[in-house]
């Protein structure tokens, strides 16, 4: 269990429901004085001592201001005693009407009674520091809150259940056992007793490296399922970019006219494709123009193309290829892209081979008619296939910090493997194994520093 860094009388309070109007709002308190503060605020429908009520019990009454005795709201009071609570401290939740004014008044009353306003993520941080969850599980809480799709939610829930942590701990246990045997061979080196051979060390290191590689292989897919994929719709003016956005969204989100240059700024919307959140960006058409505002939009499009994960490059097959088409093809040559040939319902003005010649690397164009809704399913399928095959049945690494720690551990083990192959002194192997253990410990929190903790929990909302 982690040693808590909190003072005995440090009790925190915060509004734990989202801002705005709602049926129910919650003010949460956690700490040794949570029940005492609640007793100063709560007047039950019948007389009883809050300090004596059983854990996980719910009580009806109203909240009064401790100074003015003004009735602030009708409420339910939920009591959860330590250690059987979210933070493993005494926790009280005041469930009132979901307006910002009653919530703020109740929070102010709790602060008047001696509670301190919680910092972002402090309830979850206390759950971690008090040993209820590890750091990877704590980070999954914010992933659950921010999940954009069912697939992203499933991965976050698996991490909250500790499935990633379990695999990391299995790796750490194996490496700790190996380190113990290596250190034993160092301690008894003068006795000419070989406790573990270099061949055995290499075999165990290879097994651990294979497991690390397997976890790291899920990082790209995990990140995309968690954060989504940005996909820019790009091309010359009037090739159908805004129409394609509207078609994929199934709503008239972008203005569509036959006038080139209608789209001056990027329009962004999310869609869900097979559990993957896709951020679609409709961009201004790329062309040379004397219009100052349109020129700004074209420059912004160039920046978006460089930053996007992938681009849908739209060409109009019903008009002849131009120098602008060739210039555009050169611009997106190094991007991950899908080539889409629009207006397939109209007579073609050039062969598919003509577009293939514009790109150095092989491409597989998708023929599409936005107006006739032809080829849309093929485009969606190609988008998903180019992104990933989501490993929802297994644990996936979704967090950039976890990926960095796994990569660092992998580098340390590879160095140890090289030392074992060269049959170098066991002391060198021990140093590398300790480094790998430290990096793996960063994931679950065994070896994490305070500045990393502050950085992680600062991304949480207040009240969670």
155 and 272 assigned to the same domain: no
337: domain CATH number is: 3.40.50.300
144: domain CATH number is: 1.20.120.430
State phi, psi for 116 to the nearest 5 degrees.
-110, 140
* Binding-site residue ranges for Mg(2+): 242, 263
Note the pLDDT of residue 191: 58
Note the pLDDT of residue 203: 94
- Residue 182 located in a structural domain: yes
pLDDT in tens, 351-374: 888 888 888 777 788 888 888 888
301 and 336 assigned to the same domain: yes
Residue in 427, 431, 432, 430 with CA at minimum distance from that of residue 415: 432
- Residue 264 located in a structural domain: yes
- Residue 454 located in a structural domain: no
* Binding-site residue ranges for K(+): 238, 257, 259, 262
Measured CA distances, 215 to 75, 140, 219 (Å): 47, 17, 7
Note the pLDDT of residue 394: 63
238 and 375 assigned to the same domain: yes
* Binding-site residue ranges for (6S)-5-formyl-5,6,7,8-tetrahydrofolate: 28, 93, 132, 464
359 and 316 assigned to the same domain: yes
Note the pLDDT of residue 106: 96
CB 71 within 8 A of CB 109: no
186 and 284 assigned to the same domain: no
What is the tally of structural domains in the chain?
Answer: 3
Note the pLDDT of residue 357: 83
pLDDT in tens, 391-430: 445 678 888 899 999 999 999 999 999 999 999 988 999 9
Q: 134, 156, 188: which is the final residue of a domain?
A: 134
43 and 103 assigned to the same domain: yes
Range of the domain at 155: 140-218+396-444
* Binding-site residue ranges for GTP: 238-243, 257-263, 282-285, 342-345
The contacts of residue 319 (CB under 8 Å, 6+ apart) are 349
CB 437 within 8 A of CB 172: yes
266 and 373 assigned to the same domain: yes
- Residue 462 located in a structural domain: no
Note the pLDDT of residue 42: 95
Q: 81, 113, 134: which is the final residue of a domain?
A: 134
128: domain CATH number is: 3.30.1360.120
205 and 189 assigned to the same domain: yes
Low-confidence ranges of the chain (pLDDT < 70): 1-9, 189-194, 251-266, 284-299, 301, 387-394
Q: What is the 3-state secondary structure (H, E, C) of the chain?
A: CCCCCCCCCCCEEEECCCCCCEEEEEEEEECCCHHHHHHHHEEECCCCCHHHCCCCEEEEEEEECCCCCCEEEEEEEEEECCCCCCCCCCEEEEEEEECHHHHHHHHHHHHHCCCEECCCCHHHHHHHHCCCCCHHHHHHHHHHHHCCCHHHHHHHHHHHCCHHHHHHHHHHHHHHHHHHHHHHHHHCHHHCCCCCCHHHHHHHHHHHHHHHHHHHHCHHHHHHHHHCEEEEEEECCCCCHHHHHHHHHCCCCCCCCCCCCCCCCCEEEEEEECCEEEEEEECCCCCCCCCHHHHHHHHHHHHHHHHCCEEEEEEECCCCCCHHHHHHHHHCCCCCEEEEEECCCCCCCCCHHHHHCCCCCCCCCEECECCCCECHHHHHHHHHHHHCCCCCCCCCCCCHHHHHHHHHHHHHHHHHHHHHHCCCCHHHHHHHHHHHHHHHHHHHCCCCCHHHHHHHHCCCCCCC
- Residue 451 located in a structural domain: no
CB 328 within 8 A of CB 340: no
- Residue 461 located in a structural domain: no
Note the pLDDT of residue 250: 77
Q: How many Cβ atoms are within 10 Å of 97's Cβ, its own excluded?
A: 15
State phi, psi for 192 to the nearest 5 degrees.
55, 35
344 and 382 assigned to the same domain: yes
Distance of CA 120 to the CA centre of its chain: 17
234 and 279 assigned to the same domain: yes
- Residue 458 located in a structural domain: no
Q: At what angle do helices 241-249 and 376-387 cross, to 10 degrees?
A: 80
* Binding-site residue ranges: 28, 93, 132, 238-243, 257-263, 282-285, 342-345, 464
238 and 94 assigned to the same domain: no
Note the pLDDT of residue 292: 52
Q: 119, 134, 149: which is the final residue of a domain?
A: 134
The contacts of residue 455 (CB under 8 Å, 6+ apart) are none
- Residue 464 located in a structural domain: no
121 and 149 assigned to the same domain: no
């Amino acid at each position: 269990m982690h040693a808590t860094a909190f003072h005995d009388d440090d009790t925190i309070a915060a509004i734990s429901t989202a801002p705005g109007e709602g049926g129910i709002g919650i003010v949460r308190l956690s700490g040794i004085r949570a029940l005492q503060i609640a007793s100063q605020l709560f007047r039950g429908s019948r007389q009883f001592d809050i300090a004596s009520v059983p854990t996980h019990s719910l009580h009806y009454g109203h909240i009064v201001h401790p100074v003015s005795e003004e009735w602030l709201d009708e409420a339910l009071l939920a009591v959860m005693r330590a250690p059987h609570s979210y933070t493993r401290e005494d926790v009280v939740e005041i469930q009132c009407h979901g307006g910002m004014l009653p919530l703020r008044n109740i929070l102010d009353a709790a602060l008047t009674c001696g509670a301190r306003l919680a910092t972002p993520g402090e309830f979850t941080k206390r759950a971690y520091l008090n040993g209820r969850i590890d750091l990877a599980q704590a980070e999954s809480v914010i992933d659950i809150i921010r999940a954009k799709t069912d697939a992203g939610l499933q991965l976050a829930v698996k991490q909250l259940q500790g499935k990633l942590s379990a695999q990391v701990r299995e790796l750490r246990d194996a490496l700790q056992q190996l380190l113990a045997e290596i250190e034993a061979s160092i301690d008894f080196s003068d006795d000419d007793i070989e406790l573990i051979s270099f061949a055995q060390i290499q075999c165990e290191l290879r097994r651990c490296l294979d497991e690390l590689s397997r976890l790291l292989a899920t990082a790209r897919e995990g990140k995309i399922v968690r954060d989504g994929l940005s996909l820019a719709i790009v091309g010359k003016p009037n090739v159908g970019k805004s129409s394609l956005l509207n078609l994929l969204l199934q709503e008239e989100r972008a203005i569509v006219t036959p006038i080139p240059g209608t789209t001056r700024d990027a329009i962004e919307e999310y869609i869900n494709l097979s559990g993957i959140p896709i951020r679609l960006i409709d961009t201004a058409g790329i062309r040379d123009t004397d219009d100052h505002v349109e020129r700004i939009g074209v420059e912004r499009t160039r920046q978006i193309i460089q930053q996007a994960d992938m681009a849908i490059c739209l060409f109009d097959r019903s008009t002849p290829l131009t120098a602008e088409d060739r210039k555009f093809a050169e611009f997106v040559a190094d991007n991950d892209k899908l080539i889409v040939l629009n207006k397939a319902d109209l007579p073609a003005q050039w062969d598919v081979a003509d577009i293939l010649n514009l790109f150095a690397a092989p491409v597989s164009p998708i023929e599409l008619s936005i107006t006739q809704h032809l080829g849309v399913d093929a485009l969606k399928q190609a988008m998903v296939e180019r992104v990933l095959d989501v490993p929802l049945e297994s644990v996936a690494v979704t967090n950039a910090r976890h990926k960095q720690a796994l990569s660092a551990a992998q580098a340390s083990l590879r160095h140890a493997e090289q030392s074992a192959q060269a049959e170098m002194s066991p002391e060198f192997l021990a140093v590398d194994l300790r480094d790998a253990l430290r990096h793996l410990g960063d994931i679950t929190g065994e070896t994490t520093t305070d500045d990393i903790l502050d950085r992680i929990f600062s991304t949480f909302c207040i009240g969670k």
